[in-house]
Every structure is written in structure tokens, then in C-alpha cells.
Amino acid sequence: MRIRASIAAVVIAPLAAVVGTVVMGGAQDKTLSIGVLGPLSGGAASYGVELVRGAEMKADEINKAGGLKVGADTYRIKLVSYDHKALAADAATAANKLVFQDKVKYIIGNAVGATCNAVQTVTEPEKVLFSFVCWGTNNLGPDKPHSFRVMLSQWEVAEPFYRWVKEKHPQIKRVAAISPNDTSGKDTNTAVVKALKALGFEVAADEYYERGTKDFYPILTKILAAKPDMLDVAAAPAGEGGLILKQARELGFKGAKGWTAGTNPFTIIGVAGKDAAEGVWSPANINVRSDFVSATVRRFGAEYEKRYNEVPGVIAVANYAAFDVITKAMQEARSLDTDKVLAALTQKPFETVWGRLVIGGKETYGIDRQFLYPVVISEVRDGKVVDIAQVLPTALKK
Amino acid sequence: MSIDLLVQALLNGFGLAMVYVLVALGLTLIFSILEIINFAHGEFYMLGGYVTYYVFAVFGVNYFATLGFAILAVGLAGVVAERLIFRYLRGKTLNAFIVSLGLLWVMQASAQLSFGVLDKPVPSAFSGIVRAFGLVISVERLVVSLSAIVLIAALYLFLRWSRPGRAMRAVAQDADAAALQGVDIELVSALGFGIGCALAGGAGGLLAPVFAVSPAMGALPVVKAFIIIIIGGMGSLPGAVVGGLLLGSVEGLGSLFMGSAAVNVLGFLVVILVLLVRPRGLFGGA
Amino acid sequence: MLELTDLSVHYGTVAAVDSVSVTVAEGEIVAIIGPNGAGKTSTLRALSGLVRPSGGRVMFRGTDISRWRPHRIVALGLSHAPEGRRLFPQMTVLENLRMGAYRRRDRDAVARTLGEVLERFPRLAERRHQPAGTLSGGEQQMLTIGRALMSGPAMLILDEPSFGLAPLLVREIRAIVQSINRERGVAVLLVEQNARMALAVAGRAYVMETGRIVLSGSAAMLRESPHVKAAYLGG
């Protein structure tokens, strides 16, 4: 008896302590834990780092202003982030930890396509609201009602981008697209080709290369033989896209250049060289210092730079906006219940750093779960990235 | 399909073939002297790339001086690797396989830690393109190709006529017999490994401005080098040159008719065909 | 001139050579005979530095060379024509001969030796530009001996020079060995399974069985030994 009693004491004492703190905490301020996932190490680390920083910026803003008022309660926001190294298996483990151990109901932020699919196997059955910047058509759908994409993908970007090309550069008739030979490459080329056909361009080439290719002479010889007016290195990452542009120039290509899926044109200039990168258009980029972005974005950019000593890329801005939109929806719904927040999210437009933001995409994905906002097209001029136009995704115009 | 296009495709294939031949020759030289396959060979190529990046792109030294320095520096690194590791593995093919695979990981990881994971662009040393008869080739690739040919010729002359070159050929044919003629096997082993690595380093230096450098850059040239060696025959210098030209032309022409995934398979197809007809490769001796 | 004292060679834990003592004096021809696997070749490999002895001592011209590597031993004047010829098959006859003089820097002296060797082996002179791999067995054996002479040795080690050769060629090799010894005063240590040939050419001989010297003495005496007669001379 005595032994059993002492065991009970050992177990109960810490338990009581834990319960006590929770109760005491509740008396003052409630805590809302929000998960952030992403590759924080390895080759894609820059994506994850931007996701976390974008989230931190918004969370700190809210906490400094006294917390998030949802209905009668006020919550302090606490971020819980895990590194999945861009590996699907690690992503599933991290999602399990967030949902079942940290009891998180919101995961705002994740990147790299395959890891998104892995996380969704955990979040969808648990009705955890999950937002990400992963590309790929299969991350959104009616079977995944709790999933949102908070950054424009090739499906939203290709059409307005090429509409702009058609209006401003009518001499461009034939366009060649080249992407890596995998799902994200296929997705991007398909989106580009669809936009090209809808707008009356000729598709000069729709080509794929193996990731890791260095010598693009063979494939470029074939592409250039089709005499394209414009070459789109669609979903190529900066390293490979840069080599393609450099080698295309060496093979005598003098036409226009695009990078539909390019998120950061600075990187491609380094690889391609100033001359070969000259004139590259990229529609998915954001330049927080340019005149084309709102004062809010410029302010965000300046603060981000002060805090992290780096210029934020499009992913940081996207996740900052996602935090903004989702917390606003919580306030609208006056609840933290994900289904109620979900309903609030899709009801009306939000004013964000992007400007006016709508959640749509039903015509592409069968469900309105894609963040839509104005696209900024930038051009490489004399080794610098200059924003030259702002266009609207089709769905946003309505 | 026009003749121009076919010739251009061939030219594309030949363009860099000689650089891969250089990598292959280093690998086959090491194999014939130490009887081991160095799977970390591509990492010495990578080392040559990074030396070029720092000396040429960062410090702005003349390109050919940089290339010479890269060859020397990587050759020296090869000698160190031989003295510390590979001399204990002479003739132990399986042990060397495992150890060199380990070295590959160590060198790649060290490169990631010290140079970063991202591609580092190296600016072109030569700009401009040459146009003739409707064909195009960049000056850069022309210079790279010619430099590789010069290095191959230098290796040939060294092996054919110099005293250490003769010693290397003797060791390659019969190490014990060479020792009994007074050849210092330890010295030849270190020198041979060093020269083999120097060739890889030179190739890395040549391709650095063409492709940019990264810690994993060694994988591609080594795969090509293996194909070239198997086609041409292990240990044969003319075999490697012919193997390189054959692989280059097959890949160049093939890419006109099929996607890049299929073209990569094409190289292996040639290997299988050659092995069926001549199991020791085109120039492989008994 | 050469003195092996209690020389042992182990491969792993197996003793291939077990406390063998052999001497060769200046200008002498000495033979080691014995069956296949007796440890004869291992003894030779140990004394020319190809394997490290596990025990004992090798003295050559007053120097302890027990731990020396082969290239230094060659330079000291000990030249080893190994078992199985071991030529460089893709090199020409001339290149093979030049390899034999690898450690000699005096070009004129090398040219003189080359002239002598080609004179001694007219067949090699005829085929000087032919790859060694294309020679006949007898020619290859001559090239092996010729190559060993190219270093200008004070002592020659010949391992199974008659192996696989027709009787006529064996006699030719025998004559060559004797003339080298007589004309140039080169000491010879000859290892042979062909005991008849070895005892005909050598002044003294050792009989080696399972890693040990079991019998030794003058060639004349061994020819009369019942054991040698029964085991090696076919009764």
C-alpha cells in the first residue's frame, strides 16, 4: 500500500503541476500554437527559411499588438517549426508530431511538392487547416478541403503572363518551353502550353530534360531548329535555367526569354552571365523595393531586411500574407474551429500586402483554395532585376 | 531534317567529349597502375572546378595560369590521397571500392560545408561564337576542347617517351617485373595516382566556366568516363579517345530523335553492344 | 657474395620458407632444386625484395638487404629473371631490354650493354621492334635473361629458365647461362625443377622440400645421392 501510494505521489505531483500551469495560463492569456514546416537544411533550405521568417514577422506583429482577439478570447501566437529536409518521409513524421503531440490545428507554411502530399495524409483526416507554397495540381482538390496554396502557381501565372507578352510584344508568335522531366516540370509546361494555345501562340517546342543535365547543346539544337521567337525555361531551377540561357545564346539564339516559374531572377543572372540573362521576364517574382508594390510591401521588405539582413523573396511575402489572411478569418469566424474559419476564408476578398486577395481556383482545381493576387512581371536589365508590369490572374478580374 | 542540323548535332557531341576523355584517362591510368577503381575520381574533378572558381573567378588570375595551377594542386591532392589511403589498397579491388566510395562522401560533404550547396557560376573566359558553313560553336567550347586535346597529347608523349612514363607503362603491364628492373613501385604509384587526379582536376577546370561548379558536379563526368572506358577498353589511351568520340556522336545525334532520358540510356546501349562484340572493349588487350 | 641466413617467409600463418640458409660465392653457379611448391620461388622473391622475409637475414656484397625494396637491390647489382618470364607484353623487344637498364644513367654504357646482349641473342636482334607478347616461348626466355643482363649485374637469379621449353632449347639456355658466367664472371643462382639441367650447369646445389633445405653439396655429389636420383633424376 505504502509503495503504491508513493508511486501515485510521484505520478500525480508533476501532473498537478502541469495542469496548474495550464489553468493559470488560461486565466491570463490563451496560447495559439501554429505549425510551420519546411526544408530548413539541405539544398532547398532557402524556401523553409523564408517560410519561417514570414511567419515570425506576422506572429510578432500580432503579439506586440496585444495578441489575437478571437471572439471573447485573446491569444498569444506561438510558432512551432520542424525541418523536413525536403523529404516526404520526414515531412510525414513532422506533421504527425505537430498534429498529435503539439496539438496544432493550423499549419501555415510548407514547401516542396512531394512533402505537401505527405503532410496532407495527416492533416486532412484530422481537419487541420494546412496552407503551403508547394506547386503541383494534385495538392489542391475537392478531396482536400482543408488545404490552401498561398502563392500563385504556374496555372495562375502562365495565362496573364503570356497575355501580357501578346499585348506588349506582338512580334512573338512561336514559343518554346523547356522544363525538368518530373511532375513539377510537366505541370509547368502543361500550364504554359495551355496558356499559349488559348492565346493563339504557336508552340515551337515542349521539351523536357533530366535534372542534373549540364550540357544543353543537344536539346537546344533541336529546340532552336524549330525557330522559336521566345524561349521559356519554365520550371527549370536557377542553376539549370541559367545554363540553358547561356548555351542558347552560344548557339545563336537572340529571341525573347521567359521564366514562368522563376521565383528569384537574381540567381539566374549569376549562372547565365549578364549578357545571356539580359531581358529575361519572370512573372512569379516580387521585388519588395520596386514601385510596383504597395507601400505595405515596401515597409515589410524594409523591416525584414533590418531583422534578417536579407532581402525577402516571394515565399517570405506569401507566408506573411497567409498568416495575415488566416488570422483575419479566425476573427471573422469568431472561432478557432477550422471548419468555421474555412467558411470565413472563402467568403470575401482580403486586403493584404499583395493588394486585393481572393481565394479562388475552382476552374483549375475543382475547389476554391488558391490565393489569387496581382502578378508582377520583372525583366533583367543590365544585370539588375526591374519590375515592368503588373497583371491580374484571370479569376481575380471577375 | 537538314544536313546542317545533323552536322551541328555531331559537333555538339564532340564539343565536350575530349574533356570526358581526360577524366576517363585519369581513371584508367590509376586502374592500370594500382589495379583499383577510384570512385572518388569525380571529386578530384570537382576540386579542380573549385580551384578554378576561386583562383580565376574570385581572384581574377589568367585562365590558363589558373588551369595549370588547378592541374598541379589537384595532382598534389591526389599524391596525398595515395600516400595516406590508396597505397595500402593496391590490388585490393573490393577494399578500394568501399574506401573510395567513402572518400567520395567525405569529399562531397566537406565541399558542401566549405563551399556551400549552391551552384557557383564561373564567368566565361572566352566569349563570342564562331559561325561557319551554317554551324555554330562557342569560342569557349572550342578553347576547352583544344585544351583537352593538348593535355591528352601531353599525356601520350609523357607515357611514350619519358622515363617515369615508361616506368608507369611497365608497372601497368607487370608490377613485380617492373620492380625487378629497378622501378620504385611506391614512387610510380604515387605519381600515377597524382597524374590521374591531375587530369580530372584539369577537366574540372576546363568545364568550370562552361557549367558552373557545385559539390555534386563530379557524378556526371565520371559516369561518362566509365562508359568511355568500357567502350574503348580499360587501360587504353587510343581506346579512350575513340570511346569518347563514339559516345559524343551517339549522344549528339541521338538527341535529335529522342528525349534526354532516352539519350542517357543510349550511352549504356552502346556499352552493351560493344561488350557483346568485344568483351574487353574496342582497344582492350588480353 | 650472397648469404641467406635462416631466411623464413610466411604467407599468413603458413610458412612457405622455413629457416633456409644458402650461400653463393663470387663467380659461382649455384642451383636450388626441388619439387613444385617447395618454396624455391618464395626464397627468390624474398631475397630480391618482392616479399618481406618474416625472419632471417639476406646479405649481398657485405650489405644487409633483408628489408630493402626491389629497386634498391637491383641497383646494388642483383638481377632477378622471374619465373614465368614476366615480360612487358605490349612493349617491343627493345623497350623490354631498355627497361632492364632502368636504373642506369650512363647512356653510353647502356648502349654498349645493349649491343652485347643483342650480339649474344641474335634472334632478339631480328625481332627488336616486335612486341614481346608475340615472341615464341624460347625467344621470351632469352629476352627475360637478356633483360636481366641489361642492368649490368654482378649476380643473376634465374627462376625456372627451362620451364616449358623443348629439350633443344633447354640445352641452348644452359649454354647461354654457362657462357655468361664464364665470360663476364657473373655469379648465378639458378632455381629449377629440371634437376638434370640444373646439376649439369651448377657447381653446387641445394635440395629444397616443403620450405626447408634437406640436402646440399657439390653438383657431382648430389647427382650420386640416392634421394636425388630417386626423386629428381628419374631413378
Nearest chain B alpha carbon to A182: B261
Give the residue from A283, A303, A326 where a domain finishes.
A283
- Chains B, C: CB contacts within 8 A come to 70
**HSE-CB of B157 using CA atoms within 13 angstroms:** 6
Residue A335 lies inside a defined structural domain of this protein: yes
- Which cell numbers hold the place of A236? 527549370
**Is there a single domain that holds both residue A147 and residue A83?**
yes
**Is there a single domain that holds both residue A246 and residue A267?**
yes
pLDDT of chain C, 235 residues: tens digit per residue: 999 999 999 998 889 999 999 999 999 999 999 998 899 999 999 999 999 999 999 999 999 999 999 999 999 999 999 988 899 999 999 999 999 999 998 999 999 999 999 999 999 999 999 999 999 999 999 999 999 999 999 999 999 998 888 889 999 999 999 999 998 899 999 999 889 999 999 999 999 999 999 999 999 999 999 999 998 887 5
**Is there a single domain that holds both residue A161 and residue A207?**
yes
Q: What is the largest CA-CA distance in chain A?
A: 92
pLDDT exceeds cutoff 60 at A18:
no
A212 touching chain B per CB within 8 A: yes
- Tell me how far apart the alpha carbons of residues A238 and A271 are, in angstroms, rounded to a whole number: 8
At A311 the pLDDT is: 80
C34 touching chain B per CB within 8 A: no
**Is there a single domain that holds both residue A165 and residue A239?**
yes
CB within 8 Å: A252 and B129: yes
Question: Alpha carbon A97 to chain centroid distance?
Answer: 23
How does strand A375-381 pair with strand A350-352?
Answer: unpaired
- Tell me how far apart the alpha carbons of residues A306 and C214 are, in angstroms, rounded to a whole number: 92
Residue A395 lies inside a defined structural domain of this protein: no
Write the pLDDT tens digit of every residue in B97-136.
999 999 999 999 999 889 877 778 888 888 888 888 878 8
Which residues in chain B have Cβ-Cβ distances shorter than 8 Å to C151? 181-182
Q: Which residues pair with C206 in a beta bridge?
A: C32, C216
Which residues in chain B have Cβ-Cβ distances shorter than 8 Å to C147? 181
Burial class, C217, CB count within 10 angstroms (exposed 0-12 / middle 13-18 / buried 19+): middle
**Closest approach of A225 to chain B, Cα-based (Å):** 8
ipTM here: 0.92
Burial class, B259, CB count within 10 angstroms (exposed 0-12 / middle 13-18 / buried 19+): middle
Write the pLDDT tens digit of every residue in A355-392.
888 999 888 899 999 999 888 888 999 888 888 888 88
A and C interact (at least 3 Cβ pairs within 8 A): no
**Is there a single domain that holds both residue A147 and residue A296?**
yes
B119 touching chain A per CB within 8 A: yes
- Type and span of the H or E element at B176: helix B175-180
Judged by average pLDDT, the poorest of A161-165, A380-384, B146-150, C155-159 is: A380-384
Residue A382 lies inside a defined structural domain of this protein: no
pLDDT exceeds cutoff 70 at A5:
no
- A237 in Cβ contact with A263 (< 8 Å): no
C and B interact (at least 3 Cβ pairs within 8 A): yes
Write the pLDDT tens digit of every residue in A205-237.
999 998 778 889 889 998 999 999 999 999 888
- Tell me how far apart the alpha carbons of residues B57 and B119 are, in angstroms, rounded to a whole number: 13
**Is there a single domain that holds both residue A13 and residue A97?**
yes
How does strand C2-11 pair with strand C155-159?
Answer: unpaired
At A11 the pLDDT is: 46
**Is there a single domain that holds both residue A94 and residue A210?**
no
**Is there a single domain that holds both residue A121 and residue A174?**
no
Write the pLDDT tens digit of every residue in A330-339.
999 999 999 9
Backbone φ and ψ of B237, nearest 5°:
-70, -50
DSSP secondary structure letters along A32-44: EEEEEEE--SSTT
- Tell me how far apart the alpha carbons of residues A279 and A233 are, in angstroms, rounded to a whole number: 13
- Which cell numbers hold the place of A216? 544543353
B209 touching chain A per CB within 8 A: no
Residue C156, sorted as left (phi over 0), alpha (psi -120 to 50) or beta, turns out to be beta
A254 touching chain B per CB within 8 A: no
At B112 the pLDDT is: 85
**Is there a single domain that holds both residue A319 and residue A303?**
yes
Model's pTM, two decimal places?
0.81
Residue A388 lies inside a defined structural domain of this protein: no
Give the residue from A246, A263, A283 where a domain finishes.
A283
**Is there a single domain that holds both residue A9 and residue A142?**
yes
Nearest chain B alpha carbon to C101: B181
% residues pLDDT > 90 (chain B):
62
Collect all residues with Cβ–Cβ distance below 8 Å to A336 and sequence separation of at least 6.
A32, A70, A105, A330
Q: Which residue among A222, A242, A270 sits closest to B255, beta carbon to beta carbon?
A: A222
At A182 the pLDDT is: 79
Give the residue from A283, A312, A331 where a domain finishes.
A283
Q: Which residues pair with A231 in a beta bridge?
A: A176, A257
Neighbours of chain A (3+ CB pairs under 8 A): B
At A9 the pLDDT is: 46
Residue A386 lies inside a defined structural domain of this protein: no
**Closest approach of C79 to chain B, Cα-based (Å):** 7
At B285 the pLDDT is: 63
At A15 the pLDDT is: 45
Which residues in chain B have Cβ-Cβ distances shorter than 8 Å to C69? 179, 184-186
Which residues in chain B have Cβ-Cβ distances shorter than 8 Å to A221? 5, 8-9, 12, 255-256
Query: What's the per-residue H, E or C state across A89-124?
Result: HHHHHHHHHHHHHCCCCEEECCCCHHHHHHHHHHHC
- Type and span of the H or E element at C21: strand C14-24
Nearest chain B alpha carbon to C153: B181
**Is there a single domain that holds both residue A138 and residue A218?**
no
Residue A262 lies inside a defined structural domain of this protein: yes
- Type and span of the H or E element at B205: helix B185-211
**Domain span holding position A27:** 2-151+292-373
Backbone φ and ψ of C13, nearest 5°:
-100, -5
C88 touching chain B per CB within 8 A: yes
Residue A384 lies inside a defined structural domain of this protein: no
Which residues in chain B have Cβ-Cβ distances shorter than 8 Å to C103? 181-182
Coil/strand/helix, residue C33: strand
Q: Which residue has the cell 625443377?
A: C193
Q: Which residue has the higher pLDDT, B71 or C231?
A: B71
Write the pLDDT tens digit of every residue in C31-67.
999 998 899 999 999 999 999 999 999 999 999 999 9
CATH of the domain at A198: 3.40.50.2300
Residue A394 lies inside a defined structural domain of this protein: no
**Is there a single domain that holds both residue A89 and residue A198?**
no
What's the domain count of chain A?
2
